[in-house]
Structure 1
Amino acid sequence: MSDKPYYEHHVFFCTNVREDDSRQSCGKCGALDAQGYAKKRIKQLGLNGPGKVRINKSGCLDRCEEGPVVVVYPQGTWYTYIDNSDIDEIIDRHILKGEVVDRLKI
C-alpha cells in the first residue's frame, strides 16, 4: 500500500445550511455555487480524476464565524472567500503552483 494520497489535492467546501441563526452558515453565503464553480473550473483545466484534484461538498466544518470556508488536503490549508475571483486565486496559486494564498488563509 502506498503512502501517497489518492488525490494530489482534495478540496472540501462547507455547504452546511443552518436553519436557525445561532451561528453563521456557509451554505447561506453562496458556498454551493462556489463549490460548483470550482468543480467546473478544475474539470475545464483537465485536473479532475483519480490522482489529481477532487472538489467535494462538505457538511459543517465548524469554522462558521470565519466562513464561508474551504479546506485543501493533504496540506490542511484553510481558506475563506468572497467570490469566484477568490476561488480562481486558490486554484491558480495553491492547486496549480503550490503557493499558499495568505490573504485568504484562515
Structure 2
Amino acid sequence: MPAFEHHVFICGNVRDPGHRRGCCDPEASGALRDAFKKALKRAGLARSARANHAGCLDQCEHGPVVVIYPRNVWYGRVTEQDVPRIVEQTLVHGRILEDLLIPDDCLNNPDCPHRA
C-alpha cells in the first residue's frame, strides 16, 4: 500500500461544559472525524488520505480544530458543513480556505488575542 498523501487530524478533545478554553467535541461523538472519513471516501481519497482522531492540539480557542499534514494547514471553527469543501478545495486542489485558516501568529502563541 502506498504512503498516505494527507493526514487529517481532527481534535476530539472533550472538556467540561463552560470550560474557559472551549471544547472541540462537546458531545464526544466523533461526528467531525466521521464526516471527514465519509467525505474522503466520496472523493475517492480513502486510500491516499487518512482522517484521524487527535487529542488536544492546544488551539482550543479556535475549536473545533483540524490540522492537515504534510502541508501544515491549521483550520479552526470547523463544522461538519465545512468538511466537503475542505476535502475538495484543500486536499484535492491544494487551495487554502482563508476563512477557516488559523493565523500563523496565533498558533502556539500564549499572547494570541483569541486565548481566554
Q: How far 1:87 moved relative to its partner? A: 1.3
Q: Distance in 1 between matches of 2:66 and 2:83?
A: 9
Partner of 1:56: 52
When normalised by structure 1's length, the TM-score is 0.83
Cα shift readout 1:27-66 (whole Å, capped 9, x = no counterpart): 11777211101101111222112xx100000000000001
Deviates more, 1:18-27 or 1:69-78: 18-27
% identical equivalent positions:
39
Aligned residues: 100
The correspondence for 1:104, drawn from 100, 103, 114, is 100
Counterpart residue identity of residue 12, structure 2: T
Counterpart residue identity of residue 93, structure 1: Q
Q: What secondary structure does 1:28 align onto?
A: coil
The correspondence for 2:26, drawn from 15, 25, 28, is 28
Q: Distance in 2 between matches of 1:68 and 1:33?
A: 11
Partner of 1:16: 13
Q: Distance in 1 between matches of 2:76 and 2:25?
A: 13
Which 5+ residue runs of structure 1 have no aligned equivalent? none
Greater helix fraction, Structure 1 or Structure 2: 1
Partner of 2:106: none
When normalised by structure 2's length, the TM-score is 0.77
The correspondence for 1:37, drawn from 18, 35, 38, is 35
Calculate the aligned-residue CA RMSD, in Å.
Answer: 2.1
Counterpart residue identity of residue 28, structure 1: P
